[in-house]
Structures are given as C-alpha cells and as structure tokens.
Structure 1
Amino acid sequence: MTPETTPPVPLSDFSQWLAAMLQPAALIELAVLAGCVLLALLLVWLLRRGLELDHGASIWFGRNLFDGVLFPALLLALGYAGRSLLVQYQELAVFRVAIPVLVSLVTIRVGVKVLQVAFRDAPWLRPIERSISWVAWLGMVLWVSGLLPVMLNELDQISWKLGGTTMTVRTLLEGALTAGAVLLVSLWVSAAIESRLLRSAVGGELSLRKAASNATRALLMFVGLMLALSSVGIDLSALSVLGGAIGVGIGFGLQKLAANYVSGFVILTERSMRIGDLVRVDNFEGRVTDIKARFTVIRNLTGRESIVPNEILITSRVENLSLADPRLWQSTVVGVSYSSDVELVSRLLTEAALSQPRVLRDPAPSAAMSAFGPDGLEFTLGYWIADPENGQLGLRSDINKTILASFRAHGVEIPFPQRVLHLPAAPPLPEGLASANSYIK
C-alpha cells in the first residue's frame, strides 16, 4: 500500500507508531502543526481586533487568545487541512494523535464556554464541566488506541426490549451524547439570540426583548429535547399520554407555579413593570433588577433584595414610582415659633432645597405653612428629584442640615414642646389640723 492510499486509521500498534515518530518525516509534521498553531493565533488576534465584543462573555472569544472556541476550532480546521496534504506524500504519526486531541479540545471548550455563558455562577456548573472534560479525553484515548470500535461493538451486544423498541447500551450512550450535543447547540443559539436582543436595550424595550429571549430559549430547549429523544429511538407519539398527565398535574397540583409563569410573561409583554423601575410592593420599596419567568427580583436602596412571585405583582396592588415619569416628589416638615417671620421662613426653606443640585428647578420647590401646631407654626417643604435610585434619605438629610444652619444664622427659633400644668386650689384644713400646724410653725 502506497502512502497516497494509506487511510488515516487510529493508532493500533504503539511500537509501530513510536518508530514512525523517530523518523525524520515526523519533523515535517511537527513543523506543519506548529505553523497551524501560529496561523490560528494570528487569525484569532486579527478577529479580536476587528470585532469590538465583550470577550469575557463571548463563546467564540475569551479574555485571552486561548480561552474561546475560535482558537481550537481554527486549529482543528488548519490541522485537518495539513493532514490531508501530508497524507499524500508520507506516513503520518504526529497527526494521528494531534487530530483526536484537537477534536477533544474543541468538544471540551464548546461545552464549557456554552455552559458558562448560559448558566453564569451556577453551583453545579463546575462538576458538569469536569464531566465533559473526562468524557472527551476518554473518547480521545479510546480513539487513538483503537479500542473505541471494539468497545462500541461489545456494548452493542447488551440489549433488551422496551415495548416495541430494542434498546442497547450503545444506543443509550449515543443517544445521551446526541442529547448533550443538541442541548449545547440549543443553549449556544439561545445565548447568541439573547445577547443580540438585549444589546443596547433599555426600559420597556428591554423587558419585551427579555420576554422574547426567554420564549426563544424555552422553544429551542424543547425542540432539542425532542430531537434527542428521537435519536435514542423513543417513539414521540407515546409522549402524548405523558403530556396529558403533565397537563393534569399542572392544572391541579402546580396551579401557583403555572400562574407565576403566566404572570411573568404578562408582565414582560404588557410592560406594566420594567427592569429599572422603582416600585413598592407590600411596604418593600426598591428597584426592579431582573424579571424571571417565575419571579421578579427587587433590590432595595439599602442593598437588600426581595424575590417576589410574579402572581403577587399581577393580583395585588403595586406602586410603580417610575412607570410614566421617573421624577419623584419628596417633602420635609419643620416647625418654627409663632413669633417668626413667615415670609423669611418660606424663603429660607426654598433656598435650602435649591442648594442641592439633585433638586429639580422645574417644577421648582415650594414651601408653605401647612398647620398651626401646638408648639409653633408648621411648614412643609416640597421638591422634585429625577434620580431616586441614588437614594432619598441622604438628600433629605442634607436639606435638613441646610435648613438648620439657615435658621440659626437668621435667628429663626425652632420651638421645643412646652407644657403648662394647672394645679387646683388646696381644700381648707380641718380646725384641729390647722391649730396643730400653727403650733408646729
């Protein structure tokens, strides 16, 4: 058999492969492989410079040249092209191992990067990544050593009958791998669509695109699961009974869960509550940071987060402080003595509010005498702000400090509570006690 017709079979004889590695022709393979590595690095570097992307959140690109999927994929393509060229002129030794290693590396990198982008900071992510790595490297070792066809043939002999379908261990393994590959592709496509939809979207548009992204991911996952089950050999028509049972279970046992999911899509589509809105739910006030299919996350200005089921947001009263207008009205109440100049107090209060840059000039702040208090006159200072997400207590404190300093500078008295006790007159003492009292004196 001439070198031109030598098929690229897996390595089956270690001594024969080692002898081939010691031949001078192996240096040519190493040089071609090194050239493929350098060319892949150059192409990745040029693409990173040409595309302005968030490489840390990208599947194709990572934070370094080696992190993403693009580098091992390009190296595999270039390596396969170099292998196809060299096989016409010499026996291969290096590429018989390099190609399976690159295939395993691409498989590991695709699985890890897709899971990292789709499920960020998930606690189960690390074990799944290690499982993918072990399976990929085990497959590479079996492929290179030539044991893979033998093992698959042996697993094909272990079979049993499941209804009208004959199942084998090999069928189950291939179905599981196919299911994993299909689900990874589905997650990849959905992550790309979500990144494209949510890019530079704000307010109501962000909420609508979030709903479209969630629906697209659910649809792709469902289609991928159906394809995976079909690849195993399961008749999908048999799932109609299971689907009916699931529907009955949702109708009777999972009413709240189904209601929360439906409410989540209603909130996202009708835009009654958007990501970034300042809301008050059940005496908890904060900003909407995320709207999931089942719940909504509200972050308080103090840092606390509340996870509110979407059904509550639909069926109960919710105050949206920034639905139509992000501006928010605030007030502070102060009392002065009855002898104070009313016009002077009103002017000082208005100037105290205008001294803060966060207070809007249109509409302008206003100060009015609101009540005759038991200890003095009560004034209410009202003003508008456009950035309640930056905090409200600090602004009110700064205005109150300015008011106190202005009152002290202009001699305006802030009264403290004063109480007058009226004692009834003492009754006259009896005659005997009165004489005794005079004797004591």
Structure 2
Amino acid sequence: MEIDPTPILDQLMAFADQASAFADSLTRPGWRLYQIAIVVGLAALAQGLAWALQTPAHEWLRSREGWPRWRLRVALILLRRLRLILFVGLAWMLVWIMREVTWPSRSYLVGIAATLAAAWLGVGLAARLVVNPVLRRIVTWGLWVYVTFYVLGITENAASVLENLAVDLGGTRLSALTLLKAAVLTGLLFTAARLIARNSAARIRADETISPSMQVLIVKVMQVSLYAAAVFLGLEAVGVDLTGLAFLSGAIGVGLGFGLQKVVSNLVSGVIILLDKSIKPGDVISLGETFGWINALGARYVSVVTRDGKEYLIPNEDLITSQVVNWSHSNEFVRLDIHFGTAYANDPHLVRKVAVEAAGSVPRVLGARPPVCHVVGFGDSSVDYILRFWITDPTEGLTNVRGAVFLALWDAFKAEGIAIPFPQREVRLLDRDGAPDG
C-alpha cells in the first residue's frame, strides 16, 4: 500500500518548468502579453455588462407570469451565468475579428480563453441535469478539469500523473485517475438513469390499464434497477473488479439485517402492500384515530392526508400488522349510519317516512341505493331510530355529509311537528318524616 513518489515528482517538475517558461514569456513585451491583457479586459467588460443588465433582466423575468415553470427555471439558470455568457460571446467575436484583420497567432491565447469559457459554460449547464448537489459538484469539477487539460493539450501528462498516484489494496490497484473516472462516469450514468426513470414513470402513470398500486410498484422497481445498473456499470467501466465485492456485500447484509430490522420490515411490507393491492393512492382509510386519504406510497411509509390538512407518515409495517379500514377497497360505495330519537307522541311510521325523504334530499346521498330507517329500541325518553344511507365519494369527507343529513332531519321534523325529546327528571321534596311535602 505504498506510493512511489519519484515518477510523480519528475512529472510535476516537468510541469513546473513548462509553466515557468510560459510565465517568463509573458513578462516580455509582445503579442502574448497583449493577448493576456485583452482577455483580462474582456473579463472586466463582461463583468460590467453583467452588473448593468442584472437588474433589468430580473425585472423582465418577474413580469413573465404566464411562462411555464421549466422555462422560468431555464431563464434563471442562464441569468445566473450571464457574466460567463457575455464573456464567451465577446471573446469569440473578438477572435473572429482578429483572425480577419491580423495573423492567427496573434489571437491564439484569446481563442484558448474563449474555448475554455465556452466549455466551462457547457459543462455548467449540462451538470444541472444531476439532481444530487454533491454528485453534481463532483461531475462539474471533474469535467471542468478534463476540458481544461484537453484544451491546453496536457491531457496525457495529467492522466499519467493521476495514474501514478495510486495505492494497492490486495490485488486491486486504485489510482486517482480511476476514482475520478468512476465518480464522473457514475454521475453521468445516474443522470441518464434519472431521466429514463422519470420519462418512463410518466408514461406508466398515464396508462389507465395498470392499477395505481401496480404503477407504483413498477416505477419503484424500475428506479432501483436503473440506479443499481448505473453504479455497477460505472465501476465496471473504469476497471474495478466487482467479484471482490461479493464477500463484502454479504457481510454488510448480515450487519444490516441485525441493525436495520425495522427499516427492512417496512421495505418488505411496502412491497407486499403493492403486490396484494390492499391499498392504493386515493383510497380513504382509517387507522386508529387517523382518517384520511392516501396521498403517496413510499418505500418506507405511506403518506395519509387528513381533512384538516395534516399529513401522517405511517410505516408500512403498521398497515400490515394493524387493522385498517379501507373505505374504498373493493368498490366505491360507503354506507353511513345516523342514530336519533323522537318523542313517543309521534307516529313511528311518519317519522321513518320523513327521515328517508330528508336524507334523500341531500345531494351526496345516493338515490340508486335509497336510505332506510328502522326502529331500534324504546328508550327512557324517546323512540330510537337508525338511518342508513350510501355515498360514493368518501374523499369529500364523512362528517360534513352526516352534518348535512342531520340538518335535513331537523328541518323536516320541524315542518312536520315531530319532536326530538330530551331527558326530563322530576324532583320531589320530602319532609322530615319521609312523606312528600304538600
């Protein structure tokens, strides 16, 4: 695991000598020094123009309210790189003019600066496709270093230095160049996998022949497969031996099995939920005191949104091991019950008829499955009834439709003279002998 510093030092000394000779040539008057001054002047001019255009450009962008989000995002990304864009445009314009009016050698350094700036701009814009910030930074800096070395013509020398900067781990030799290639290539493959997964997921969700739960399962399996393939292809492409990872992955799997039992249980439970289609996005469920509709199915949890706007993240294991009420599992019909009582003086036949008509007048109550009303008992103060009716939209809420039916009952009973009794108690005072007073 030792690194021989001799080849690396020799190559670095050669680089240092070339850089010293180039810097020494810049100190003498001539076109090289003039071109450096021109590049510095172009950078200053681009900076001044960027400062002058920044505020008007922001104001103009704020006035584009009708634009789609992606177009506004692209415009904002370009606006943040306005200085570099201006420098590239000015530099290439000047290079074209100088090559037309003077010798090409007198615009050589300006052309290199313009090429480098254009390459850096392209890398910065392309790297925005990488979502992960850390991975995006690695890919950006790796590509910036590569295009810089490529434009300057020192790619082979730099690659030789990075290749010599290596360590031996058993039978595997890991060099700085290998690690850099693996990071950049894996980042690019991850970006390609993300784009493929996003486009494929949109098409799968648009296919109405696939159930919502199967859509979620297919999308998640596809994403895991693409990202795993990106990692393995990236490592394989740079020459990393993957056979030695088998024992290590087995040991890690044993450790994870003991330390992450709950996480693994939730992951497996999530797959079971998707396979047996017991719940799906849009279903209305009750779990304990939580009542709401399923917003999303995650790998570890299910997102349930309640009527008051709260979002509960329920572990998948709880949905497997606990009793869950799915109001819309096999069909969309949901029956609701309302209990009420009327005075003994009111005719039960009339009460039942009025109650059914009142419930049927509520818009959300189904007419195809008409409400029914039954006498369920004779209480201390009232004749007790149960009113049953059906709805097909539990996602719109249950309490509000019950409240609407109660209000309809109140209005109908008031119109028909039907009384809703309340408990009454008679208080009698006794004298000292225990006899009623008076």
Q: Judge same fold: TM > 0.5, yes or no.
A: yes
> What are the Cα deviations for residues 386-426 of structure 1, in whole angstroms up to 9, with x where unaligned?
11101121222222122222222222221121013466674
Deviation per residue, 1:158-192 (Å, 9 max, x gap): 33322223333233222211221122222222222
Q: Post-superposition shift, 1:365? A: 1.0
Q: 176, 182, 188: which is aligned to 2:183? A: 176
Q: Are 1:112 and 2:135 an aligned pair?
A: no
Report the counterpart of residue 164 of structure 1 in structure 2. 171
Gaps of 5+ in 1: 1-11, 23-53, 70-85, 116-124, 430-441
Look up the equivalent residue of 1:378 and give its one-letter code.
D
Question: In 2 relative to 1, CA 108–371 (structure 1 residues): closer, same or farther, beyond 3 Å?
Answer: farther
Shift of 1:286: 1.6
Distance 1:406 1:282 in 2: 35
Give deviations 1:57-77, integer Å, cap 9, x for gaps. xxxx745776899xxxxxxxx
Aligned to 1:241: 247
SS at match of 1:370: strand
Structure 1 counterpart of 2:422: 416
SS of residue in 2 equivalent to 1:262: helix
Over 3 Å counting, the alpha-carbon distance change for 1:299 and 1:357 in structure 2 is same
Whether the 8 Å CA contact 1:359–1:383 is kept in 2: the answer is yes
Match of 1:310 among 292, 312, 316: 316
Separation of aligned partners in 2, 1:114 and 1:341: 74
| Deviations 1:249-268 (CA, angstroms, capped at 9, x unpaired) | 23333332222212211211
For the residue of structure 2 that corresponds to 1:275, the secondary structure is coil
Q: Bigger CA drift: 96-105 or 171-180? A: 96-105
Partner in structure 2 of residue 271 of structure 1:
277
- Tell me the equivalent position of 2:53: none
CA contact (8 A) 1:108 1:132 kept: no
Match of 1:405 in 2: 411
Which of the numbers 196, 214, 223 marks the counterpart of 2:220? 214
Q: Which amino acid aligns with 2:190?
A: L
Percent of matched pairs sharing the same residue: 28
For 1:190, give the aligned amino acid. Answer: A
Residue 349 in 1 paired to residue 365 in 2?
no
Cα distance change of structure 1 residues 201 and 17 upon mapping to structure 2, 3 Å threshold: farther
**What whole-Å deviation, never above 9, does each CA across 1:202-225 have from its counterpart, x for those lacking one?**
8x6121121111111111111111
Uncovered stretches (5+) of structure 2, i.e. residues with no partner = 1-21, 39-66, 79-95
Question: 1:366 Cα shift?
Answer: 1.5
- SS in structure 1 opposite 2:309? coil
Q: Check whether the contact 1:257–1:294 (CA below 8 A) recurs between aligned residues.
A: yes
Classify 1:113/1:173 alpha carbon distance in 2 versus 1 (closer, same or farther; 3 Å).
Answer: closer
**Which deviates the most, 238-247 or 308-317?**
308-317
1:127, CA displacement in angstroms?
6.4
- In structure 2, relative to structure 1, the CA distance for the partners of 1:131 and 1:248 (3 Å cut) is closer
Q: TM-score, normalised by structure 1?
A: 0.69
Distance 2:178 2:278 in 1: 49
Taking structure 2 as the reference length, what is the TM-score of the superposition? 0.70
Specify whether residues 238 and 344 from structure 1 end up closer, same or farther in structure 2 by C-alpha distance, changes over 3 A only.
Answer: same
SS at 2:376's partner residue?
strand
Paired residues of 2:217 and 2:274 also in contact (CA < 8 A):
yes
Where 2:211 maps in the other structure, the secondary structure is: helix
**Superposition map of 1:356-371 within 5 A:** 356-371=362-377
1:187 pairs with 2:194:
yes
| Per-residue deviation, 1:346 | 1.9
Q: Comparing 150-159 with 364-373, which one deviates more in the overlay?
A: 150-159
Count matched residues: 360
Distance in 1, Cα, partners of 2:434 & 2:321: 71
